[in-house]
C-alpha cells in the first residue's frame, strides 16, 4: 500500500536507471537525512553523539572503503586498519606542518596518502588473488603498524609515542581538540560521510563500478572484454584506501582526540571486515547495516539490563553481549549469507508486489 511502483512512469533511460527509481525511496532518503541533520543533534545528548553516532559514521565510512575493494572488486584485504593509520598519521603531520590550513582539507588530503600506499601494496593483485592476496595485505598491515611504532618522525617525536590532536577551528568554532563540542564534531563527520557516500554511489553505478564488478565476477572474461586488469584493480585499491585513510583521520581527530599505534591493529581490520560481511558484500547500504549491528547493538545490549531494572554485574553483561552478538551474526549468515542488505532488498521487493507472492 505504501511502497508501490504503480503509476510512476519512466519516460527516459536515465529515469529507468536511477539509483532511487521509486518516489518512496527518495522520500525515505530525505527523512533519513532530516533525522541525521536535524533530529539527532537536537534530541541527542553529548554521550549519544560522541559515543554512538560519531563512531558509527566513521566505521560505516571505513566499511564502504573496504566494500569497494572486497565487495565490488572481489579483492580480499586485511590491511584496512593499516591504511586508516596512514590517513591518521598523514593528517597529523600535515596539520602540524601547516597549522593555518583548514583541518577538513587535511582530513580529505590524508586519504590521498593512504591511496598511494594502497596502490603500492595492491601491485601484487595482478598476479595473486584470494587468500594469497589476503596474506599480502596482512603483511602490509603488520609493516604499517611497525612503521607507526618505530618511526618517531610520524608522531613528532612525542614521548608518549602517540598522536596528540591539536585544537583546530572552522569559522572560529573549534572542530578538534578538547574544546570542540560534540555537535560540531558530529556535523563535520556527517558531512564528510554523506559526501563520500554520494561519490561512492556514483562510482559503483557508473563505468568504473561496472569494471570493478566485471573483474569480481570473472577477471579473465573482463580482460577479454577489453578491461585492463592492473589499472582497474589498482584504482580499486586507491579508492578503497582513500576512504579508509579519511576514516582513520576522522577516528583520531574527531572521535578519540588522540591515539596510539595500537588503535590500528589487526583486530580493527577484522572488525571492519566483519561489518562488511554481515552488512552485505557489494552494497553501500550494507556497510551502514553492518556498522550498526557490530558497533551499536553491543552498546544497546549493555544498557538494556539497567533500563528494565535487572541487577546484573558488568562482567556478566559483557559476556552476554558477546554471546548475543555472536549468535545474531551466525543467525543472519544462515538466514541470508549475502548479508543484511539482501534481507532489506528482499523485504522491499515483497512490499512492491504485496499482497501477491510474485
Residue 2 — pLDDT band, cuts 50, 70, 90?
low
- pLDDT more than 90, % of the chain: 53
Instruction: Return the pLDDT at 1.
Output: 55
Average the pLDDT over 79-85 and give the result: 95
Nearest of 61, 166, 190, 157 to residue 106 by alpha carbon: 166
Given a cut of 90, is residue 170 above it in pLDDT? no
Given a cut of 90, is residue 70 above it in pLDDT? yes
Instruction: Return the pLDDT at 79.
Output: 92
Average the pLDDT over 158-169 and give the result: 87
Q: Which CATH number fits domain 21-353: 3.40.109, 1.10.150, 2.60.40, 1.10.3470?
A: 1.10.3470
Residue 52 — pLDDT band, cuts 50, 70, 90?
very high
Average the pLDDT over 173-178 and give the result: 88
Given a cut of 90, is residue 22 above it in pLDDT? no
- pLDDT more than 70, % of the chain: 97
258: cell is: 588522540
Instruction: Return the pLDDT at 358.
Output: 62
Residue 262 CA, distance from chain mean position: 19
For 288-336, write each residue's pLDDT tens digit.
999 998 898 888 887 777 777 777 777 887 787 888 888 888 887 788 7
Instruction: Return the pLDDT at 303.
Output: 78
- Between CA 259 and CA 87 the distance in angstroms is 13
230: cell is: 592492473
Q: How many CB atoms lie within 10 A of CB 303?
A: 10
Instruction: Return the pLDDT at 98.
Output: 92
- Between CA 146 and CA 25 the distance in angstroms is 46
| pTM of the complete model | 0.92
Given a cut of 80, is residue 101 above it in pLDDT? yes
- Between CA 4 and CA 19 the distance in angstroms is 16
Q: What is the mean pLDDT of the chain?
A: 88
Given a cut of 90, is residue 243 above it in pLDDT? yes
Average the pLDDT over 101-105 and give the result: 92
Instruction: Return the pLDDT at 357.
Output: 65
Contacts of 341 (CB under 8 A, 6+ apart): 279, 280, 283, 285, 286, 289
17, 81, 114, 232 from 249: Cα distances, Å: 35, 11, 10, 26
Instruction: Return the pLDDT at 286.
Output: 92
Amino acid at each position: 500500500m505504501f511502497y508501490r511502483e504503480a503509476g510512476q512512469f519512466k519516460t527516459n533511460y536515465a529515469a529507468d536507471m536511477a539509483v532511487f527509481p521509486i518516489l518512496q525511496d527518495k522520500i525515505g532518503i530525505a527523512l533519513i537525512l532530516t533525522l541525521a541533520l536535524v533530529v539527532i543533534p537536537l534530541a541527542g545528548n553529548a554521550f549519544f553523539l560522541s559515543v554512538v553516532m560519531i563512531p558509527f559514521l566513521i566505521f560505516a565510512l571505513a566499511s564502504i572503503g573496504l566494500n569497494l575493494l572486497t565487495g565490488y572488486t572481489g579483492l580480499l584485504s586485511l590491511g584496512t586498519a593499516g591504511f586508516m593509520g596512514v590517513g591518521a598519521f598523514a593528517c597529523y603531520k600535515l596539520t602540524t606542518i601547516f597549522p593555518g590550513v583548514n583541518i577538513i582539507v587535511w582530513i580529505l588530503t590524508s586519504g590521498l596518502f593512504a591511496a598511494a600506499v594502497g596502490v603500492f601494496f595492491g601491485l601484487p593483485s595482478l598476479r595473486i588473488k584470494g587468500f594469497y592476496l589476503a596474506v599480502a595485505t596482512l603483511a602490509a598491515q603488520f609493516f604499517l603498524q611497525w612503521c607507526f611504532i618505530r618511526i618517531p618522525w610520524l608522531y613528532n617525536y612525542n614521548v608518549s609515542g602517540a598522536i596528540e590532536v591539536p585544537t583546530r577551528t572552522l569559522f572560529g568554532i573549534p572542530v578538534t581538540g578538547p574544546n570542540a563540542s560534540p555537535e560540531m564534531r558530529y556535523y563535520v563527520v556527517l558531512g564528510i560521510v554523506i559526501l563520500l557516500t554520494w561519490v561512492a554511489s556514483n562510482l559503483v553505478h557508473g563505468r568504473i563500478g561496472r569494471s570493478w564488478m566485471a573483474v569480481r565476477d570473472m577477471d579473465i572474461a573482463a580482460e577479454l572484454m577489453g578491461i585492463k586488469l592492473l589499472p582497474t584493480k589498482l584504482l580499486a585499491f586507491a579508492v578503497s584506501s582513500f576512504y579508509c585513510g579519511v576514516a582513520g583521520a576522522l577516528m583520531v581527530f574527531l572521535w578519540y582526540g588522540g591515539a596510539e599505534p595500537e588503535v590500528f591493529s589487526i583486530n580493527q581490520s577484522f572488525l571492519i571486515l566483519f561489518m562488511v560481511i554481515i552488512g552485505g558484500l557489494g552494497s553501500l547500504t550494507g556497510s551502514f547495516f553492518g556498522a550498526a549491528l557490530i558497533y551499536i547493538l553491543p552498546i544497546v545490549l549493555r544498557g538494556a539490563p539497567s533500563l528494565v531494572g535487572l541487577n546484573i554485574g558488568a562482567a556478566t553483561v559483557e559476556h552476554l553481549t558477546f554471546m548475543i552478538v555472536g549468535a545474531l551474526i551466525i543467525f543472519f549468515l544462515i538466514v541470508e549469507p549475502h548479508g543484511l542488505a539482501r534481507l532489506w532488498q528482499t523485504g522491499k521487493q515483497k512490499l512492491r508486489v504485496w499482497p501477491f507472492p510474485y
